[in-house]
């Protein structure tokens, strides 16, 4: 078996998604709803509490964890502001900015197909209930 990328592969090649593939933790973060919503909000630098207010339903703990993962992966930067009390501001890095276009395509796809997916969910649920 060969470990290779899933796109543009010869028909005879068997794709293996290995457990230690370095793309896994990155895909895990990119697919995380809070991470993607944070990045969508960061068109301009924002403070933690402003992000929290704009992300209805997120807890302080989950927001903190998502911000730390994004910073660790190089998608955002954290800047301590010389204010009293000390403030922190988050903004996209160049790497984070480079994800905006593909994320925009994914977001547009979800909006375009949202109703169709909901119809499929309802049909599935009604079959499961019988």
**Residue 2: per-residue pLDDT:** 46
Interatomic CA distance for residues 108 and 29, integer angstroms: 19
Q: Which structure tokens are listed for 46?
A: 């924002």
d(CA 90, CA 46): 5
Q: pTM value?
A: 0.75
Predicted local confidence at residue 113, as pLDDT:
95
pLDDT tens, 17-73? Answer: 788 888 888 888 778 889 989 999 999 999 999 999 999 999 999 999 999 999 999
Look at residues 67, 70, 63 and name the one whose alpha carbon lies nearest to residue 54: 63
Mean pLDDT of 103-129: 91
pLDDT, position 3: 47
pLDDT at 19: 84
């Amino acid at each position: 078996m060969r470990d290779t990328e899933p796109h543009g592969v010869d028909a005879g090649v068997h794709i293996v998604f290995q457990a230690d593939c370095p793309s896994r933790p990155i895909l895990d973060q990119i697919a995380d709803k809070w991470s993607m919503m944070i990045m969508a909000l960061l068109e301009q630098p924002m403070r933690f509490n402003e992000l929290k207010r704009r992300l209805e339903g997120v807890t302080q703990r989950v927001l903190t964890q998502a911000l730390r993962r994004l910073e660790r992966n190089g998608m955002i930067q954290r800047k301590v502001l010389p204010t009293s009390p000390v403030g922190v501001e988050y903004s996209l890095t160049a790497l984070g900015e480079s994800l905006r276009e593909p994320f925009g395509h994914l977001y547009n796809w979800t909006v375009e197909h949202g109703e169709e997916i909901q119809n499929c969910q309802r049909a599935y649920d009604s079959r499961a209930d019988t």
